[in-house]
A = this chain, B = another copy of it.
Amino acid sequence: MRTILLGRPLQDSELGHEKYSVLWGIPVFASDAISSVSYAGEEILLVLIPALGMLSFRVFLPVVAAIITLLALLVFCYRQTIEAYPSGGGAYIVAGENLGHLPGLVAGSALVLGYILTVAVSACAGAAAITSAFPGALPYKALIAFGIICLLTWGNLRGMRESSVMFGVPTYLFIITMIALIVTGLVKYSMGLYTPEQTVIVTENARDTLLFVVLKAFASGCTALTGVEAVSNGVPNFRDPAQKNAKKVLYAMAGFVCLVFLGVSILINLYKIVPNEQATAVSQLAGAVFGQGSAMYFVVQLMTVVILALAANTAFADMPLLMALMARDGYLPRQLVSRGTRLNYSNGILLLFASASILVFAFRGSQHLLLPLYASGVFISFLLSQLGMLVHWKRVRGAGWQLKAGINGFGTLVTGVTLVIIVLMKFLSGAWVTLVCIVLLVYMMLRIKKHYDSVADELRVTDLAAAKEQVSRAKPAKVILPVQSMSRSFVKTLDCALSCGFSEIELYHVCDDEEKALALKRRIEELGVDARFVYEVTTYRNVNEVLLRHVQTEAAKLPEYQNLTVMMGALVVTHPLQRLLHNQTTQRLARKMERYPNVAVFNVPYLIG
């Protein structure tokens, strides 16, 4: 079943490590950043238009320009991370190494949230591209987004090879499609073939100042910058010279984001596109340029869905890796460390699937509602990464460190200010959720670490001599064998007890009727084994409690270093439906007895069928 669904198990050596060239590295690392273009412009307009009406189109392009400037700055900053961390410098590592544990955990939490939101936002934006093309599907938007997540989860559980071609072709196709859109749009406009409809817009009672509106629009537009840090995480995955190639990819990525974002924004401005609940801005633009329902229109929508799915897939590749890293450091459950039979981090993938799905349904499939959470989480990790780099240069020094520190210092300042803007502007519409989640995550991680540390302490053999004495002191002890009736399972258990060298076998019986106990005693005596029959009569319906109390009492009588063994015959029914017909009492009792300090439980299974 698992093999059909997920494919055959793989050997460790089959873990591929494809090294990327610049040409094919661009799509692998850039799909996340480039895909942001499909919703960033729209988010800006959704802030501007209700406040300013058609005036919005005067403010729109300056906001876009500010964001592109910020992008350029980030490129310079991350260029330095690539230089300093040839083995990959995600925010978790950079902040952890330079700022200490706690900032590292904050960055890690922000990244984890960011990945979850990448998936949720991309799936919802992909669903929006679909519902824009097929308005009848609008009521099922959340379901469509969930479907996209399911597909990606399945693919990643199978362990899709992150082949560069699989990523590359659609990404370049998306870029080509967008360039075609931009060029056709500009030509059409300049030839006067398109006049914007006169849309009547009812603006809200504009009590906010222009500055406030512009800042809010800027905060919304910052979602265009999500994903720019990807290259700096993945330096070791590039062909030699890795750092040089990584930098080229970083520049190219920034170039493409800039080109597409700027081009699409200019077109939106020229065509006076007003986004609404039914159709995304890009969809309306494609409709206006190529004609609603034309083949090219559907190509634009299709490529948008594909690039968004690729962006979400990046998170599926990276988050389980990050979580494995954090779990190895002891901050997350250990189950996230181990790779599954298909060599992927299946637990992390399933966790991402579950949390992104919950978000999609909780926010009813709306990327507009999810994006404020996204932007604030991403900029927290940007800020900590920049601050970490600043401290890094001050720590390691080296030639011209002042300049480098200066660049990252400026980066810290700018990302810090942007973060403040985003949090202030988007606090009530979602940023508070991110902040609360990060605090909770960090608290949880610290607790997990504490737990693992104390377990490791408890398990460590510190005193070999004591351990040696313990095992040398071992001597045959007593076994308690609870018995309910003379059955084959009991005979097998008794047989098993006899074949260990216990010093004494106690057959223990609880019942509500003395007569029956004596009858059972006589039957067992016929077997002629050397065992003591002990019984207890109870008038409460608590046979199991009496047994547990007896075990506890007997265990307490033994010296602390000696174990009391309880041996129980357990019916084992393999058919899952038939298992419902049995009480599983033995299993439940065993679980309880395991909690007594010096009791060991010996299950002798009796297989049915």
Contacts and interface: CB of A to CB of B under 8 A. Distances in A.
Interface of A: 9-13, 333-335, 338-341, 343, 448, 451-452, 454-455, 458-461, 464, 467-468, 470-477, 486-489, 491-492, 494-496, 498-502, 512, 526-529, 539-542, 561-563, 565, 570-574, 578, 580-583, 590, 594-595, 597, 599-609
Contacts of A474: 495-496, 498-499
A467 B494 CA distance: 10
A135 B467 CA distance: 75
A570 B541 contact: no
Nearest to A606: B459
Given A334-B582, A470-B495, A500-B501, 20 more contacts: A9-B542, A12-B512, A333-B581, A341-B540, A343-B541, A459-B571, A460-B487, A468-B527, A472-B528, A475-B499, A476-B501, A495-B561, A496-B600, A563-B604, A570-B594, A572-B594, A590-B603, A597-B607, A600-B605, A602-B603
A539 B498 contact: no
Nearest to A601: B603
A470 B491 contact: yes
Which of A12, A467, A599 has its CB near the most chain B CB atoms (within 10 A)? Answer: A467
Given A12-B541, A340-B541, A491-B471, A583 B335 contact: yes
Contacts of A448: 581
B595 A574 contact: yes
A340 to B, nearest CB: 7
A602 B566 CA distance: 10
Contacts of A581: 333-334, 448, 451-452
Nearest to A337: B583
A536 B540 CA distance: 52
A576 to B, nearest CB: 12
B580 A454 contact: no
A461 B485 CA distance: 10
A121 B570 CA distance: 42
B459 A488 contact: yes
28 contacts: A9-B542, A11-B539, A12-B512, A333-B580, A338-B541, A341-B540, A341-B541, A455-B573, A458-B488, A459-B487, A459-B489, A461-B487, A464-B526, A468-B526, A468-B528, A475-B499, A500-B500, A500-B502, A565-B602, A570-B594, A572-B594, A595-B605, A597-B607, A600-B604, A600-B605, A601-B602, A601-B605, A602-B603
Query: Main secondary structure on chain A at its contact with chain B?
Result: mixed
Contact of A500 (B476, B561, B605): B476
Contacts of A339: 541
Contact of A603 (B335, B542, B562, B594): B594
A398 to B, nearest CB: 37
Nearest to A540: B11
A315 B375 CA distance: 57
Contacts of A502: 500-501
A574 B451 CA distance: 12
B528 A499 contact: no
Contacts of A501: 476, 500-502
A162 to B, nearest CB: 19
Nearest to A12: B539
B472 A460 contact: no
Given A471-B491, A542-B9, A499 B563 contact: yes
A609 B457 CA distance: 11
A507 to B, nearest CB: 12
B494 A471 contact: yes
A589 to B, nearest CB: 12
Contacts of A460: 487-488
A431 B608 CA distance: 39
A571 B455 contact: yes
A561 B470 CA distance: 33
Given A11-B540, A451-B578, A594 B605 contact: yes
Contact of A471 (B333, B341, B476, B529): B529
Contacts of A452: 581
